[in-house]
Structure 1
């Protein structure tokens, strides 16, 4: 049976979440979306051991053709993630330290890029 793109993406997020948790991060929320059209989405929101809130973009690609998974996190995609993170942070009483990570999954290979981009 063939998987849909969504199923492959969900499986990549599961893999990334498990990997990050083995590295000491705690899952706070998954698939946070801003309301309305044109907003942003954050695949995983995690908390690092030092209290840093980590907004994680998970990108799945079958291979490194066309620049691979990391290269697919364009400037426009980064701005949408930052927008969604700002929206999420409005709900908190105090804003903790934050960072933006990318987990790139290509085939069976997973790479975690800490602080992949800035707000």
Structure 2
């Protein structure tokens, strides 16, 4: 991961904690892929994808293609299977832009395979 991506993920982790979520781990990876952050929101486990771009673009969500969604889902299932945790979970996406990681959107409980420009 490059320095800018690391900075965006650090900003995202701090943001989630300020919103009351408890950070469990960052950059969880297995043979299926990687999840940028895993947090707990009350009794719900939250799998978080962080997308950052230097300049504003409508392509932030579109960059999460079907292959990425499948890897995200399989990685989340791997995490749940190996940690014996309940399956109550959701998928969130943080869309950040600019040099200072300005929050553009926090999409909560996204439905995989349903990303579209109308989602944000």
Pick the TM interval, shorter chain: 0.7 to 0.9
Q: Partner residue of 1:77?
A: 68
Equivalent residues, number: 110
Is there any run of 5+ residues in structure 2 with no aligned partner, and where? 114-120
Runs ≥4 in structure 1, deviation > 6 angstroms? Answer: none
SS in 1 for 2:20: coil
Alpha-carbon distance in structure 1 between the residues aligned to 2:85 and 2:92:
21
Query: Which residue matches 1:116?
Result: 110
2:37 aligns with 44
Taking the aligned partners of 2:39 and 2:20, their CA distance within structure 1 comes to 10
| Residue 62 of structure 1, CA deviation | 1.5
**Structure 2 residue aligned with 1:32:** 28
TM-score, scaled to structure 2: 0.83
Aligned mates of 1:96, 1:25 — CA distance in 2:
17
Task: Summarize deviations over 1:6-33 as a string: whole Å, max 9, x none.
Answer: 1111100011111111111000011011
Q: Distance in 1 between matches of 2:54 and 2:59?
A: 8
Question: Residues of 1 paired with 2:111 and 2:93: CA distance?
Answer: 9
Q: TM-score scaled by structure 1?
A: 0.83
Distance in 2, matches of 1:45 and 1:94, equals 12
The CA distance in 2 between the partners of 1:30 and 1:77, in whole Å, is 17
Q: CA RMSD in A?
A: 1.7
The separation in 2 between residues aligned to 1:64 and 1:76, in whole angstroms, is 24
